[in-house]
Amino acid sequence: MCYDRYCDLILKKGPGNISDENQMEATQNDVVSLFKYLSDKDVFMMVYSKLLSKRLINDISASEDAENAMIVKLKVILFLAPLLYINDTFSLPKGSSIV
C-alpha cells in the first residue's frame, strides 16, 4: 500500500515535505477524505504507526503540530464516525417514547 508511505513522505523532513501550513492542512484533509474509503484501515494504521515511530525515534518528523493534526484527523475517522453512525441508527424519532 502506497498511501501510508505518502503520509510518511509529507510528514518527514526531506524533499517531499510540505512546509506551508495551509497546504499541509489541505493535503491532510485530502488524505483523510481518501482514508474514509479504504477497506483495510487496520493495515494502513499498522504501517502508519510503524512509520510514525521511525519518524519520532530518528527525529526526522518535519513538524510536531502536523503529526498531531494528522493523528487527530485519523482518530475522528476511526472512532467518531462509526459511533455517530450507530447513534443515528438507534436514535428514536422525535415525539416517540419508550414504553
Q: What is the pLDDT of residues 53-90, one digit of tens each?
A: 999 999 999 888 999 999 989 888 887 666 655 655 55
CATH topology of domain 3-82: 5 helical Cullin repeat like (1.20.1310)
Single-letter residue type at 93 = P
pTM: 0.73
- In whole angstroms, what is the distance from residue 54 CA to residue 61 CA? 9
For residues 90 and 84, the answer to whether their CB atoms sit within 8 Å is: no
Q: Where are the domains of the chain?
A: 3-82
